[in-house]
């Protein structure tokens, strides 16, 4: 996200337009926490995870009154357009401002990759690389001790991170909200890996499945055919931090520039999206209407490669 902020500020400078950052998202908007961003302030932030502007979850902006108050703050400060970097909730707020005729352009930022209409959101690639790094380390213990690891990954209601982790990390089995496996199916997959003589097995479970991974592990431990000793790792917020990958820096930089230009050209109610190699603009409404679907061929790929 910092790379996107930097890109917005420096594109503004290019056009001679002042850019203000709002601290802590909609909370800062409601509190009038605006702060002029100079080139100097966005210098040296490309490699930093998180966001220099910070963020917050706030319910007040979800209400019509909160949204009106936000609009009032923008007008008080003489702001002419807003670029919102974030996921579903952030974009929903942006859409509300757009509907009140305030110019808004969105930039997709979420590790979940659940925004529809864009191939990738900012942060997904970095999170995936972090997960794979952790998985590779965990596998060392798994192989040395002939263990099976259940690894829970984030993603809210979307299984993108989980299915990619399974394919790229070489998991034996994966369960996601889109293709949820029963505990029994997971036990069978691990038992199969054991019978085939594998030194370890990895089960990747998306956080959005209907059962708790702790319950799954208890279940697996009671299935004698599983063979492996079972361990559970919840990767948690490790997945959200860290220095962005080259892919994410480039994506965020390009999206930041594109968002600024779109706003300058008078666009509103749109989100920057990655379509193949190109950046396009899609209605925010479309991006948040439903969770992005996972290409079904990835599930087949994960199954074939897990043998
Ligand atoms: O939406 C991003 C995400 O990291 C989800 O994958 C996860 O469910 C959630 O946010 C965690 O939120 P919090 O940091 O508020 O616990």
In the chain, what percentage of residues exceed pLDDT 70? 100
| DSSP summary character for residue 50 | S
d(CA 179, CA 173): 11
Which residues form the pocket of ligand 1, taking CB atoms under 6 Å from any ligand atom? 87, 110-112, 154-156, 207, 240
Q: What are phi and psi of 274, to 5 degrees?
A: -95, 120
> Is residue 156 scored above 90 in pLDDT?
yes
pLDDT, residue 222, reads 98
**Spatial CA neighbour of 205 closest among 152, 163, 130:** 152
* Confidence label for 180 from pLDDT (cuts 50, 70 and 90): very high
Strands 147-153 and 229-234: parallel
Structure tokens at 49: 């995870």
Q: What is the pLDDT of residues 27-49, one digit of tens each?
A: 999 999 999 999 999 999 999 99
- In the block, tokens 């029963």 appear at 182
d(CA 20, CA 118): 26
Mean pLDDT in residue range 191-196: 97
| Cβ atoms of residues 290 and 97 within 8 Å | no
Which atom of ligand 1 lies closest to the CA of 112? Answer: 6
> Is residue 264 scored above 90 in pLDDT?
yes
Q: Model's pTM, two decimal places?
A: 0.97
* Positions marked active-site: 112
Mean pLDDT in residue range 253-282: 98
| Cβ atoms of residues 253 and 7 within 8 Å | yes
pLDDT, residue 307, reads 85
Nearest Cα residue to atom 15 of ligand 1:
57
pLDDT, residue 239, reads 98
Q: What is the pLDDT of residues 72-96, one digit of tens each?
A: 999 999 999 999 999 999 999 999 9
Structure tokens at 142: 């798994």
How deeply is 288 buried, as exposed, middle or buried, from its count of CB atoms within 10 A (0-12, 13-18, 19+)?
A: buried
Buried b (16+ CB within 10 A) or exposed e, 62-96: eeeebbebbbebbeeeebebbbbbbbbbbbbbbbb
The rounded Å distance from CA 152 to ligand 1 centre is: 13
Write the CA distances from 152 to 83, 135, 145, 234, 281, integer angstroms.
Answer: 33, 11, 20, 5, 33
pLDDT, residue 58, reads 92
Average pLDDT, the chain: 97
The residues with which 35 forms a beta bridge, in sequence order, are: 21
> Is residue 278 scored above 90 in pLDDT?
yes
| Cβ atoms of residues 241 and 47 within 8 Å | no
| DSSP summary character for residue 293 | P
90, 109, 111, 130: which to mutate for ligand 1, most atoms within 8 A of CB?
A: 111
Mean pLDDT in residue range 295-299: 97
Domains and CATH numbers, the chain: 2-123+244-289 (3.40.50.450), 126-240 (3.40.50.460)
**Spatial CA neighbour of 94 closest among 290, 294, 285, 307:** 285
């Amino acid at each position: 996200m910092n790379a996107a902020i930097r890109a917005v500020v420096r594109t503004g400078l290019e056009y001679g337009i002042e850019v203000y950052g709002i601290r802590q998202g909609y909370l800062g908007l409601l509190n009038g926490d605006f702060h002029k961003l100079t080139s100097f302030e966005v210098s040296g932030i490309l490699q930093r995870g998180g966001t220099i502007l910070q963020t917050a979850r706030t319910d007040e902006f979800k209400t019509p009154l909160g949204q009106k108050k936000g609009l009032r703050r923008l007008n008080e400060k003489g702001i002419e357009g807003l670029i919102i970097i974030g996921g579903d909730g952030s974009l929903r707020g942006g859409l509300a401002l757009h509907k009140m005729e305030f110019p808004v352009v969105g930039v997709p930022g979420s590790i979940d990759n659940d925004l529809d209409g864009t191939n990738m959101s900012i942060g997904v690639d970095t999170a995936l690389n972090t997960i794979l790094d952790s998985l590779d380390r965990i596998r060392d213990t798994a192989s040395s001790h002939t263990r099976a690891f259940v690894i829970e990954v984030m993603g809210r209601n979307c299984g993108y991170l989980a299915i990619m982790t399974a394919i790229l990390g070489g998991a034996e089995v994966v369960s996601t909200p889109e293709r949820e496996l029963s505990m029994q199916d997971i036990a069978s997959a691990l038992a199969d890996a054991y019978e085939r003589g594998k030194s370890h097995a990895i089960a990747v479970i998306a956080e959005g499945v209907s059962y708790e991974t702790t319950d799954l592990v208890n279940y697996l431990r009671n299935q004698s055919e599983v063979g492996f000793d079972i361990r559970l790792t919840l990767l948690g917020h490790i997945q959200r931090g860290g220095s962005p990958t080259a892919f994410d820096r480039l994506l965020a930089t390009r999206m930041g520039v594109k968002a600024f230009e779109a706003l300058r050209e008078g666009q509103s109610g749109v989100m920057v999206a990655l379509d193949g190699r190109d950046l396009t603009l899609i209605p925010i409404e479309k991006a948040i209407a439903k969770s992005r679907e996972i290409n079904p061929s990835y599930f087949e790929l994960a199954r074939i490669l897990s043998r």
